[in-house]
Each structure stands twice: as structure tokens, then as C-alpha cells.
């Protein structure tokens, strides 16, 4: 399994960047997890978006879905140019009817997942964890049967994440605030909380993502390492993790 960071900013993309967007690959199957603002532009540096096999959405805030519409147009154009009739499955939760319905377009099909059940997408199985966020949002554990990557999506800290992330090979955390700040209102974690979660869940590696637009990002690593002794990385476009 290979995971590539396409977008990692919180709220809005910095120049030449993108918000939440991650590419999961296994056995030539390509799953895009979230499709935030700028994601389509940056994704094309790594793969042809028309070669995606599925998309999985954590929730319907714009920094996670803004480029879904752009992706839909791309599939419309390429199906027309190539005289094909391919349809892309976009998985989302059904708890916002209008937003879920928007996942369906001429060449995309919205498919509702039940967060209480395990979802199979190609070679991956996905389990869900409800997050602490102002709208319904689901983090996920993506497994290829041997290795597991946990993505918190947007959430403030909760003890429930510890058993959910237990032993993960890679933990990708929402790290939108620095040590000593309070992210409970907007529903985001601090660097210190990300490190504490990684430590308590005994994960093998920690990636700090959904990064803030203020402060020095290197400080996030230092603060996370105060609570976690394993490998800590800062998300950047093109950052890649691959199971061994």
C-alpha cells in the first residue's frame, strides 16, 4: 500500500497548494480520500484523474470536497473525448442529503457508506470513527489486509481514537493548532494531542496534516515529539509512505 499526500492545508490552500487530499494505491487500484480545494490541480502531477477507481469523502466541509465538482467535470470531458462511458464511485456519508446527492453527476455516482459497518473498496477495507467536529464527519482506518493507515479527518481529541488507531502503521492526524491552544470549538487537534494519541495508540509512524496558516510548522513536530518518541513527519505535497 502506498499513500501520497496531495493536499494538507487546513481551511484553504496556500499558493501552489491544496487542502485535504490523499491518494491511496494498492495493486494498481487508486483511491482518493477527500478532494479539497486545489486537489485536482495538484493530483495531476502524480496520476491522471481519469484513472481514479474511487473517491472516499470524510465530510462535506469545503476544504475536503471543494474539488469534487472539478473532478466531475474532468470525468465528463474525458469520457466525451475518449468516447467512453466510465463512471466513478464517490463514497460519502448520507447525513447531509443535499451534499451527498451532489456527489452524483453524469459520470460519477454517489454511494452512501454506513459508518457502523466495514466498507470494502477494491483491495481496501475501511472502518470508520465518528469525529468531534461541528458537522457529521468520519475518520477512517484503511487496510490492505496486512497494513493499516488511520486518518483522523477533522476532529478534536477524544479518548475513543486510542483503541481505533491502536497499532496503526501510519497515523495521519488533524494538527491545526499548536501546543496549549484549544481546538475543541472548531473541532481540531493540537500538536501535543496528536503526539499523545500516537503514543497511547502505539502507532509506528505519525504524520501531522491539516496544517495551520500561522506559526512555524517545525514547532508542531517539536511539540508532538514531546509526547511521542516514534517517527514524526510534517505533511507536504508529494510526501509518500509505503508499506514494507
Which residue range forms the structural domain that includes residue 99? 2-242
Predicted pLDDT of residue 86? 98
Given pLDDT bands bounded at 50, 70 and 90, which one contains residue 181? Answer: very high
- Following CA atoms 47, 165, 152, 17 in sequence, which dihedral angle do they give, to the nearest 10 degrees? -40
Grid coordinates of 175:
494538527
Report whether 32 contacts 7 (CB < 8 A).
no
**pTM, 2 dp:** 0.98
State how far the Cα of 9 lies from the Cα of 38, in Å rounded to an integer. 10
Whether residue 244 has pLDDT greater than 90: no
Provide the domain count of the chain.
1
Whether residue 124 has pLDDT greater than 90: yes
Q: Quickly tell me which residue has 477495507 as its cell.
A: 125
Report whether 34 contacts 20 (CB < 8 A).
yes
Query: Per-residue pLDDT tens for 91-107?
Result: 999 999 999 999 999 99
Predicted pLDDT of residue 47? 98
Whether residue 19 has pLDDT greater than 90: yes
139, 123, 215: which is closest to 172 by C-alpha?
Answer: 139
Query: Per-residue pLDDT tens for 56-89?
Result: 999 999 999 999 999 999 999 999 999 999 999 9
71, 58, 128: which is closest to 99 by C-alpha?
Answer: 58
50, 58, 51: which is closest to 100 by C-alpha?
Answer: 58
Amino acid at each position: 500500500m502506498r499513500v501520497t499526500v496531495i493536499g494538507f492545508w487546513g481551511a484553504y490552500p496556500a499558493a501552489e497548494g491544496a487542502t485535504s487530499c490523499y491518494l491511496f494505491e494498492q495493486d494498481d487500484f487508486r483511491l482518493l480520500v477527500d478532494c479539497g480545494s486545489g486537489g485536482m490541480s495538484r493530483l495531476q502531477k502524480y496520476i491522471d484523474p481519469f484513472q481514479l477507481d474511487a473517491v472516499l469523502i470524510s465530510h462535506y466541509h469545503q476544504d475536503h470536497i471543494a474539488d469534487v465538482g472539478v473532478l466531475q467535470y474532468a470525468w465528463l470531458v474525458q469520457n466525451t473525448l475518449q468516447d467512453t462511458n466510465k463512471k466513478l464511485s464517490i463514497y460519502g456519508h448520507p447525513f447531509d442529503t443535499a451534499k451527498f446527492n451532489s456527489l452524483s453527476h453524469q459520470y460519477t455516482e454517489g454511494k452512501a457508506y454506513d459508518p457502523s459497518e466495514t466498507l470494502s473498496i477494491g483491495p481496501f477495507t475501511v472502518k470508520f470513527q465518528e469525529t468531534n467536529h461541528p458537522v457529521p464527519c468520519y475518520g477512517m482506518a484503511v487496510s490492505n489486509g496486512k497494513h493499516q493507515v488511520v486518518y483522523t479527518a477533522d476532529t478534536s481529541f477524544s479518548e475513543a481514537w486510542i483503541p481505533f488507531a491502536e497499532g496503526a502503521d501510519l497515523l495521519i492526524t488533524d494538527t491545526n493548532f499548536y501546543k496549549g491552544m484549544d481546538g475543541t470549538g472548531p473541532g481540531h487537534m493540537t500538536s501535543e494531542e496528536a503526539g499523545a494519541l500516537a503514543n497511547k495508540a502505539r502507532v509506528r509512524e505519525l504524520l501531522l496534516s491539516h496544517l495551520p496558516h500561522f506559526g512555524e510548522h517545525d514547532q508542531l513536530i517539536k511539540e508532538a515529539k514531546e509526547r511521542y518518541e516514534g517517527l514524526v513527519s510534517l505533511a507536504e505535497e508529494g510526501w509518500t509512505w509505503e508499506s514494507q
